[in-house]
Structure 1
Amino acid sequence: MIERKIRLTDTEEVKDFVRAAGKCDFDIDVCYNRAVIDAKSLLGMLYLGICKDLIVKYGEQDERFEHVMNKYAIA
């Protein structure tokens, strides 16, 4: 399982992230505190809010998804 931290700062970034996650054929979860949301759900991602440090968990690698993850990754 791969875990990375990201931060999305506006709704366009959320849409971009959800679009990229939707193209993957594996599960991607986004965690904030005790909430775990499907990364492919736009409403779920908007529910988490923006400008928060989120943890993304996924089991496989996809080059296009990794590119999007790198755009929003934080240390």
Structure 2
Amino acid sequence: MDLRQDIKLGAPEEVRDFVSAAAKCAFDVDISYNRFIIDAKSLLGVLSMDLTKILTVSCMGYDCQFEQTLNKYAV
């Protein structure tokens, strides 16, 4: 299953919450903007993204708790 969701992260606490939820997933989670693709389980990687932009999350699996986190930051 390949899920794509657009999200918006602002404060560092939101990034920490998102990365923590992604890290619990047993499958790959990527976050992208334009041509840049980052492992969503990497706090420094996500913080290096332009957080003023809408980011796209791609999941290679399904996790109910992670979907709740995605919905919290969905645009």
- Sort the TM-score into its range (normalised by shorter chain): over 0.9
Asked if 1:37 corresponds to 2:30, the answer is no
Partner of 2:72: 71
Q: Which residue in 2 is equivalent to 1:59?
A: 60
Pairwise CA distance, 1:49: 3.0
Query: TM-score scaled by structure 2?
Result: 0.94
What's 2:50 paired with?
49
Structure 2 unaligned runs (5+)? Answer: none
TM-score normalised according to structure 1 size: 0.94
Counterpart contact for 1:5–1:55, Cα < 8 Å:
yes
Report the 3-state secondary structure (helix = DSSP H, G, I; strand = E; otherwise coil) of the residue aligned with 1:48.
coil
Superposed CA RMSD in Å reads: 0.7
| Greater than 4 Å deviation, 4+ residue runs | none
Matches of 2:57 and 2:50, distance apart in 1: 14
Preserved CA contact (<8 Å) 1:4 1:73? yes
Segments of 5+ residues of structure 1 without an aligned counterpart are: none
Q: What's the CA shift string for 1:30-54, capped at 9, x where partnerless?
A: 0111100000000000000323100
Percent of residue pairs identical: 50
Aligned length: 74
The amino acid across from 1:46 in the alignment is L
SS of match in other structure, 1:8: coil
Q: Is the 8 A contact 1:30 1:55 kept in 2?
A: yes
